[in-house]
Amino acid sequence: MHFISPVLWQFLIKWLTNFAIFPPEASRIAPDVDAFYFYLIGISVVGLVIVGLLVGVFSVRYRKERNPEATQIEGSTLLEATWTIIPLALFMVSFVWGALLYFRIYNPPTNAMNVYVVGKQWMWKVEHPGGQHEINSLHVPINRPVQLTMISQDVFHSFSIPAFRVKREVIPGRYSTVWFEATAPGTYHLFCTQYCGTLHSQMIGQVVAMTPDDYQAWISGSTSGTSLAQNGERLFAALGCNSCHNGTPNAHGPSLANVIGSQVQLANGTYTTATDAFVRDSILNPTLHQVAGYAPIMPTYQGQVSEEGLISLVEYIRRLDSNYRIDQTLNVSETGAGSDAAPASGTSTSTASGMVKQ
């Protein structure tokens, strides 16, 4: 890329995209991915030409009429070393270069804004933290790193935006992430690139990259009224989580304030970082990582919460800080001194503890 002259590079890319041989380059990483791709094509072409030429030249030069008697060649260390070292060096360059790109694509910068994506047969559901929902479309601002936290509700899918040169498997039961920084406003293709059943070919959509102002206008014009965290707060009460997790000293469960990103000690003495995935696992499969100092009384919520619900819970827990009680408005009376609960939270709490004791 940068070792070819920038003018030449621009020309090459323009030509390739004009003839629809290449998708447009619309993200920060796209030119770098393309440079690597051209390197791979380049060494393949060089290899092809050398081998092709040698086949041609040798078959003329060493043809039967000129060499009626076969000559035995004992080998040449120099020759063998050359054809070992040069390809090895070329492959090592691909390896290191590829690995550097890989780490860049799969390690989101910490200042990236997060958007959730749920894949299912056969659509992409996008959830913005502000509560905006989209189906088969994704609106993003340009010049800002965007991280996608993705999960599948059924089978394997793969989320791909060719113009951004990113793609990542979307797997049931596990969050996977990918990130990009769009550079040019526009509408780009979004594909599922993993065969996922009959209508796989229709699991497509569009990515709309917008200027920051347009994006702001879109975000404020598309709110559903409740953010993901607020939705999560409701679920937290409705599922009775707050009967055990309420930040009081005598609570049956650990306080969840500031838990995401922190080190949690497990019952077996080891420490683990509480990530989104850790929280999700804790809800669906509480015995998987038992938190130290607490009885294994947390029930599993497997089958009771949808992936979207889990995302809302994760967003809620992410936003819980030391003023746990203020955030958790639905549970104010529960964490207060008195046990006379207000009707709303009283109902949800008793349903929840009933559920737990079954």
118 forms part of the interface with Cu ion (CB under 5 A): no
Task: Report the residue from 28, 120, 139, 157 that binds Cu ion according to the rule CB under 5 A.
Answer: 157
Supply the DSSP symbol for 25.
-
Distance CA(19)–CA(147), nearest Å, equals 31
By CB under 5 A, which span of 10-18, 35-43, 202-210, 238-246 interacts with Cu ion?
202-210
Among 350, 335, 357, residue whose Cα is nearest residue 246: 335
Instruction: Give the nearer residue to Cu ion in terms of CB position, either 39 or 156.
Output: 156
Helix/strand/coil for 264: strand
241 forms part of the interface with ligand HEC (CB under 6 A): yes
156 and 194 in contact (C-beta within 8 Å)? Answer: yes
Tokens 């209508």 correspond to what residue?
Answer: 199
By CB under 6 A, which span of 30-38, 154-162, 222-230, 291-299 interacts with ligand HEC?
291-299
| CA contacts within 13 A on the Cβ side of 212 | 4
Among 26, 33, 28, residue whose Cα is nearest residue 185: 26
Instruction: Provide the minimum distance between the beta carbon of 259 and ligand HEC in the complex, in angstroms, as a whole number.
Output: 5
320 forms part of the interface with ligand HEC (CB under 6 A): no
By CB under 6 A, which span of 1-9, 145-153, 250-258, 328-336 interacts with ligand HEC?
250-258
How many residues in the shown chain lie near Cu ion by CB under 5 A? 4
Instruction: Provide the minimum distance between the beta carbon of 189 and ligand HEC in the complex, in angstroms, as a whole number.
Output: 36
Residues whose CB falls within 8 Å of the CB of residue 245, separated by 6 or more in sequence, listed in order: 236, 251, 253, 254, 255, 256
Instruction: Provide the minimum distance between the beta carbon of 333 and ligand HEC in the complex, in angstroms, as a whole number.
Output: 17
192 forms part of the interface with Cu ion (CB under 5 A): yes
Q: How far apart are the first and last CA of the chain?
A: 64
Task: Report the residue from 166, 274, 311, 320 that binds ligand HEC according to the rule CB under 6 A.
Answer: 274
The item of Cu ion, ligand HEC, none sharing an interface with residue 129, based on CB under 5 to 8 Å by kind, is none
Three-class SS of 125-157: EEECCCCCEEECEEEEECCCCEEEEEEECCCCE
Residues whose CB falls within 8 Å of the CB of residue 145, separated by 6 or more in sequence, listed in order: 108, 109, 111, 112, 113, 179, 180, 181
- Residue 297: C-alpha distances to residues 285, 353, 356 (Å): 12, 12, 8
148 forms part of the interface with ligand HEC (CB under 6 A): no
Distance CA(203)–CA(118), nearest Å, equals 12
By CB under 6 A, which span of 26-34, 181-189, 290-298, 321-329 interacts with ligand HEC?
290-298
Distance CA(133)–CA(142), nearest Å, equals 19
Instruction: Provide the minimum distance between the beta carbon of 284 and ligand HEC in the complex, in angstroms, as a whole number.
Output: 9
Instruction: Provide the minimum distance between the beta carbon of 120 and ligand HEC in the complex, in angstroms, as a whole number.
Output: 22
257 forms part of the interface with ligand HEC (CB under 6 A): no
Print the binding letters for residues 337-356 with ligand HEC: x by CB under 6 A, - otherwise: -------------------x
Task: Report the residue from 301, 320, 334, 348 that binds ligand HEC according to the rule CB under 6 A.
Answer: 301
Q: DSSP characters for 94-125?
A: HHHHHHHHHHHHHS--TT-EEEEEEEETTEEE
**Neighbouring C-beta atoms of residue 209, cutoff 10 Å:** 27
**Neighbouring C-beta atoms of residue 138, cutoff 10 Å:** 21
Task: Report the residue from 182, 196, 209, 352 that binds Cu ion according to the rule CB under 5 A.
Answer: 196
Instruction: Give the nearer residue to ligand HEC in terms of CB position, either 297 or 332.
Output: 297
Instruction: Provide the minimum distance between the beta carbon of 157 and Cu ion in the complex, in angstroms, as a whole number.
Output: 3
240 forms part of the interface with ligand HEC (CB under 6 A): yes
Instruction: Provide the minimum distance between the beta carbon of 331 and ligand HEC in the complex, in angstroms, as a whole number.
Output: 12
Instruction: Give the nearer residue to ligand HEC in terms of CB position, either 150 or 274.
Output: 274
Q: By CB under 6 A, name the binding residues for ligand HEC.
A: 239-241, 243-245, 252-254, 256, 259, 264, 274, 279, 282-283, 286, 290-291, 294-298, 301, 313, 356
